């Protein structure tokens, strides 16, 4: 459990001033604030500085204006929610990339929250670790749910009995996520997956600078030098080839100010991003 000081510091990062009772409305407020103010990112992995997915360390990342990916984000958020009085469960998940089959491989940590409502228990899908979805918690009940310009689907998983599936609004980087029904009690299940993502030469993120977040009207993504803005009526892509502009977008749009990187380290990070971008363009014949 978090201390009261840690709770207040975490909420301050989210732009929330007061501790409130563990209601549905506060859960929605917390979720919106988290995905809008704390991005999903591969920055530390790309920089060769991966950090632990220990829950207390992940909480400190959030408090100290840093971030991470699903294990850090959902891990820390679950600790905050439990400390606020919510009933939270961890679940094994698997993200389905475009062109591949559904799976539950523990490369994603999913959350559900149970709320008591008029003598009945309601379960909600809570996920601040998917980058560009969802903006709010979703009922763990089959249906289509509109959130801003996007419509997400919840259905029964075809991968595991009694599991569920969260479907993205296409076009998107991935099609959907499947979740196993049983609760996971500690992070041991996910440690080997984090080791693969953060240290393996075969990891898709070792050479991929990627940062994403949601907001009420859409989403933003910075993939190397390409800033993608997805909104209600259009999808726009902007190529950034200037270091100062790149840092400005990181800070102003995503709230990522690289607080634990020196000026030299930021310069090295930009040079690697630009080099990879130029090699990518060359491979595409541009």
How many whole angstroms separate alpha carbon 197 and alpha carbon 203? 5
Q: Which residues fall within 8 angstroms of residue 36, CB to CB, at 6 or more apart?
A: 135, 213, 214, 215, 216
DSSP characters for 220-272?
Answer: EEEETTEEEEE-SS-EEEEE---HHHHHHHHHHHH----TTS-HHHHHHHHHH
Q: Which residues fall within 8 angstroms of residue 227, CB to CB, at 6 or more apart?
A: 220, 221, 237, 238, 239, 240, 249, 253
How many whole angstroms separate alpha carbon 52 and alpha carbon 233? 39
How many whole angstroms separate alpha carbon 43 and alpha carbon 263? 15
Question: Which residues belong to the active site?
Answer: 70, 108, 127
How many whole angstroms separate alpha carbon 246 and alpha carbon 240? 6
Residue entry with tokens 């850090």: 72
């Amino acid at each position: 459990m978090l201390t009261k000081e840690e709770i207040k510091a975490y909420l301050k990062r989210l732009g929330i001033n007061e501790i409130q009772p563990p209601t549905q409305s506060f859960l929605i407020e917390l979720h919106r604030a988290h995905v809008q103010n704390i991005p999903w990112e591969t920055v530390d992995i790309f920089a060769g500085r991966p950090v632990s997915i220990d829950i207390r360390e992940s909480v400190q990342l959030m408090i100290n204006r840093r971030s991470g990916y699903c294990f850090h984000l959902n891990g820390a958020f679950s600790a905050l929610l439990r400390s606020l009085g919510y009933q939270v469960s961890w679940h094994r998940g698997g993200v389905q990339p475009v062109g591949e089959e559904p799976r539950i491989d523990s490369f994603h940590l999913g959350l559900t929250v149970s709320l008591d409502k008029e003598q009945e228990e309601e379960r909600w899908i809570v996920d601040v670790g998917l980058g560009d979805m969802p903006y709010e918690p979703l009922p763990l009940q089959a249906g289509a749910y509109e959130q801003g310009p996007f419509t997400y689907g919840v259905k029964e998983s075809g991968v595991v009995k009694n599991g569920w599936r969260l479907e993205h609004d296409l076009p998107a980087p991935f099609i959907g996520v499947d979740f196993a029904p049983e609760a996971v009690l500690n992070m041991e299940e996910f440690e080997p997956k984090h080791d693969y993502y953060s240290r393996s030469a075969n990891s898709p993120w070792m050479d991929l600078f990627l940062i994403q977040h949601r907001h009420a009207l859409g989403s933003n993504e910075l993939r190397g030098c390409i800033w993608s803005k997805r909104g209600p009526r259009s999808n726009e892509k902007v190529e950034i080839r200037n270091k100062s502009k790149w840092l400005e977008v990181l800070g102003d749009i995503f709230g990522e100010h690289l607080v634990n990187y020196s000026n030299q380290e930021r310069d090295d990070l930009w040079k690697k991003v630009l080099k990879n971008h130029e090699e990518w363009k060359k491979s595409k014949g541009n």
